[in-house]
Structure formats: C-alpha cells, structure tokens
Amino acid sequence: MFENKKYLLIIFSIIILIGASCSSKKIEPTYIPDDVSGVFCIDLKNVSNKATDFSNAIKVMSGDKYSFVNQVFNAGVDYSKKAYFFIRTSPELSQSYTAGYIPLNNKKKFEEALKKSTKENNINTEIKTKEDWKYIITENQVILMWNEKQVFFLLQGDKSDEEKLLANAQKIIKTPENQSLEGKQNSFKELLAQNFDASYWLNTEFTTPKLPYLSNWGNLESILSLPKMVESNYGLITFEKGEIITKNIVKFKEESFKKYKNIIKTSYDQNLAKSIPLTEPIFITAFALNMKEVEKMLDEWKFLEKLKIQVSFIDMKIEDFFTMISGDIVISGQTYGAKEMQDNDFVVALGLEKKEIFDKFINEVASLGLAKKKKNYFVLNYDDYRVFLIEKGNTLYLTLSADLRDKILNENNKINQKLSTSIGEQSLLFALDYNKLNKFIPWDSIKNSDNTKNMYQNIMKELDTFEMQAAPWGNATQITNFKLKLTNKSRNAVNVLAEIIDKINKDAKERKPNM
C-alpha cells in the first residue's frame, strides 16, 4: 500500500513538472539581422514619460494605410522597454522590407484590440498559429505576428503569397545571435548601452556602382567609395522642452582616416564667420579645408590634370590656386526669393593666405576682360549676373548685392548676437532660422488644391531654428550635435512633434487627386 502511494506521488510530481514546463515554455530571443540598412529605436519608457499623447508617435511608425496597426499597438504594449524599427533596402523589391519589434506585457488585451480593429476596418483575415507565434496577413504584403513577449510586423517591398511572406518573417525572427546586429556590430551594442529617448543606427557597408561613365571625369569611383571610410554611424536623440537634440557619432576606419583626415582643418576661422555683414541671416555655414591636402587628394583622383586644362588661359600655375586661399569658407544669406537675383543678400567669405597671388590672379582675369576693376573692388560679369569681389584685410568677399558691397567696404560688418553665440571652436557650423525663412517663402503663389501649402505652413509655424555643430576635427571618432528648436518653448518636444504628425496625417487624408 505504501509502495503504491510512493509511485503515485512520483507520477503526480512528474505530471506537475511537465505541466509547469509547458505553461512557461521558453520563448527564443529575437534579433535584428545584420544586413539591414538602418535601425530606429525608441525607449518607450523615456518617451512615454515625456509624452502626454504617445499614440501619435505610434501612428508615424505604421502609417495611415494600415490604420488598424495604429490601434492595436496601443493595447498591451510594454512601455518599460524599447521598440525597434528597421529597414532593408535593395534593388530587388522582394529583398526590401520594413519591420519592427514592439514589446508586449498583455497578450490577451492585444488580441482583443486586434480582433476589434480588424472588424471595424473591414479587414478580412484570420488569426493563425505557427510554432509559438500567432499571426495575421493582409494584402499579401504585411504580416503581423505576436507571442507572449512582443509584436513583430513585416511590410515587404512587393506582394507575395502567404507561404513566402510567412517564411520571410520567420527567417527574420529566427536570426541567430551570431548573424545579428547585437552579435556582430559593437557600435550597435554601444548605442544600446547609452541613455536616449530615440536613436538610429546606419549600416555603413555601401558598395560602389560600376558605371561606364565614371572614367570620363577623373577617378569618381574613389570618391563614391569614401563612405567605406566609415566604420560606424549612429545617433542619440533626446526630447526636451522646446527642442530636439541629436548627438551623431561617426567612427572612421583608422587606416583610411589617417590618409584623409588632414583634408579638413581642426576648426574654421571664427573671426571670418563674425565678419559677415548680415544682422538677420536666414542661414550661415562655416568650415575650413586644408588646401594643400585638397590638392594632393585631387591629384590622386586624377582631377588635377583636368583642372590645369581649365585654367591654362591664365598665366598661373594650378598649384597657386591652392596656396592663394586659406581654406576657411563662410556662406550666409539674409533674403530669399527676390524677383531680381541681385536683390538677394547673399555673401561668401574666403580666407586669403597669400594676397599677392590673388592680386595677380584677379588682375589676369581683368586683363582678359572677364572682370572690371573699380576703385577698391572688382566686378565679375557672368551671363545676366554681376558678382562683386571685395578684398578686405585677409578676407575675400563675394556677393551679388550692392548694399552688402557697400557695407563691406565701409566695414559695417555687424552679425547679430543670436548667431554669434553659435560660432565657436568647431570644424563645421550650420545654422538656419525658420522664422526668417518663413517670411520669404511666397506662400501666396503656392496653389492649395491638395493642401500641401497648409501642411508646410503648419510645420513651419512650429519650427524656430536649426543648428548643426561639429566638434573640432582630428579624432577618428567625430561627434556632431544637431539642435532643432521649436516655437513652443514650454512643452516637451515629443508632444509638439506628435501634433505636427497628426496635422500632416489629417492634411494627407484631405488631399484630393488632381484631375
């Protein structure tokens, strides 16, 4: 009797263990394939804490065409984790796709929302099961899969039958770790270890197309292969009150970087940037090139010989052009869209390294009738345009505007204080003022038949300024900061961004096709 009870207890224990193991079936981890073109990641916890209405952020990921996805992704989503969206581009549509993983914490709630949404949107599909995933397929192009932990979606570049679509989806979700971004790309693991609201990772494995005409103008194949210098490129995005800040990190391959790094100077001449005679510029950009290194690079690319032919009519050596200017360049504009080109306040400032060589060059051009010498400046005529060349100190200014010419000649160079704060010890500056740009856009002449005008106006109203500032050049790891400032300074940018997206979606729905 006792023996029978012992055996029954053993059998009962085994049944319990088997039942427990079945009910807590291990779900295999999912990875992103290493051959994707790019990844966009959202830290749902960080963003949802800042967002008052996070659903609009989900909308932009899935698009209006599949509006039911918008609804179901707001049910059962685990906002304590990260969501991943990735894309693969290929010349073959069948090899291109957009996909993503979104974490779940309530599978039942998700399924209920899915069933309700497909019914309301008249989507004729049924829920099927494959291994430990459930899935639905719509339009033979989209598959939505889910299990206890996450939702996976795949939008293929072309339509195919259900069997092929399911096979493609399974291939992605079964990506082994040793063939994934997490397993093979240190830069991707490095990105995920940092704090961000959103981030992006770009695949730097570009290939150079073999086109027959490339040999017609120097070694263009070498130029097109420059992206191969980059080992990794990713960005960290944070949403703050009134602004979106992006930190872009590029790592160059050491060997290639050593070869080309001296082409760019450590930083541009700040005094040159501050000498621009524009008090309210729409934009300004400043950078500096090492002209001797540029000459060397052009020679390697077989460009120099062609340039020699272009300037053979002037009694100067091609090498003189690379010692004449310092390589510091500033470009800025204050007006846009004037009826007459000459009325646009636009100026280019170049640093002069050897003024005597420039003086020889401009006098050679004038002797050939290509430029007219005035009292203290030159006028270069090109078709219907008139370009003023003004040499002032160690700077050469080029402008179409007579007003700017006079300001430069009278040394009335007063850049506005707001822009002055952007100029600093950096290798690249680009600043754009949306408010000033908006004033010069000819909105009245833009037709509004498809609501495009409304859409752009709605976007422009929300934008204040944009700045791009690259750290001093010289390290194989280059950091560039982007800052988009919004008009509304009191609210977190993620909420304003969601409203902009919502407006764009509404405008798109209201558009009518041109007849």
The pairing of beta strand 346-352 with beta strand 371-373: unpaired
pLDDT digits (tens, 9 = 90+) for 199-239: 999 998 744 444 444 444 445 545 555 557 888 999 999 99
The helices-and-strands tally (H runs, E runs) of the chain is 20, 20
Percent of the chain beyond pLDDT 70?
78
Distance, in Å, from the CA atom of 216 to the CA atom of 275, rounded to the nearest integer, reads: 40
Q: Which residue, 112, 111, 100, 98, is CA-closest to 147?
A: 111
Distance, in Å, from the CA atom of 376 to the CA atom of 144, rounded to the nearest integer, reads: 71
Q: Please state the rounded mean pLDDT for residues 250-257.
A: 89
The better pLDDT of the pair 488, 55 is held by: 488
The pairing of beta strand 385-392 with beta strand 428-433: unpaired
The pTM score is 0.83
Across all residues in the chain, what is the average pLDDT?
81
pLDDT digits (tens, 9 = 90+) for 383-433: 677 899 999 989 999 999 888 999 899 887 666 666 667 888 999 999 999
Q: Residue 141 carries which DSSP code? A: T
Strand ranges (DSSP E) for 116-176?
128-130, 133-138, 142-146, 150-156
**Maximum mean pLDDT: which of 16-30, 299-313, 377-391, 481-495:** 481-495
Q: Following DSSP, what letter does each residue of 31-65 receive, concatenated? A: --BTT-SEEEEEEHHHHHHH-S-THHHHHHHH-GG
Say whether pLDDT at 475 is over 70.
Answer: yes
**Identity of the residue numbered 267:** S
* Residue 31 banded pLDDT, cuts 50, 70, 90: very high
**H-helix or E-strand spanning residue 9:** helix 2-23
Return the bridge partners of 428, or none. Answer: 287, 470
Q: Please state the rounded mean pLDDT for residues 438-454.
A: 70
Q: How many CB atoms lie within 10 A of CB 160?
A: 16
**Residue 414: per-residue pLDDT:** 66
**Residue 235: per-residue pLDDT:** 97
The structure tokens listed for 22 are: 């079945």
**Identity of the residue numbered 192:** L
Distance, in Å, from the CA atom of 430 to the CA atom of 482, rounded to the nearest integer, reads: 9
CA distances to 152, 511, 513 from 449, in Å: 38, 8, 9
Q: Which residue, 396, 257, 380, 389, is CA-closest to 324?
A: 396
Distance, in Å, from the CA atom of 380 to the CA atom of 370, rounded to the nearest integer, reads: 6
Contacts of 437 (CB under 8 A, 6+ apart): 282, 283, 336, 460
Helix 55-62 and helix 493-510, axial crossing angle in degrees, nearest 10:
50
* Residue 342 banded pLDDT, cuts 50, 70, 90: low
**Residue 197: per-residue pLDDT:** 95
**Residue 152: per-residue pLDDT:** 95
Q: Residue 312 carries which DSSP code? A: T
- Cα three-residue angle 476-478-480, rounded to 5 degrees: 175
* Residue 319 banded pLDDT, cuts 50, 70, 90: confident
Distance, in Å, from the CA atom of 171 to the CA atom of 174, rounded to the nearest integer, reads: 5
Chain center to CA of 109: 36
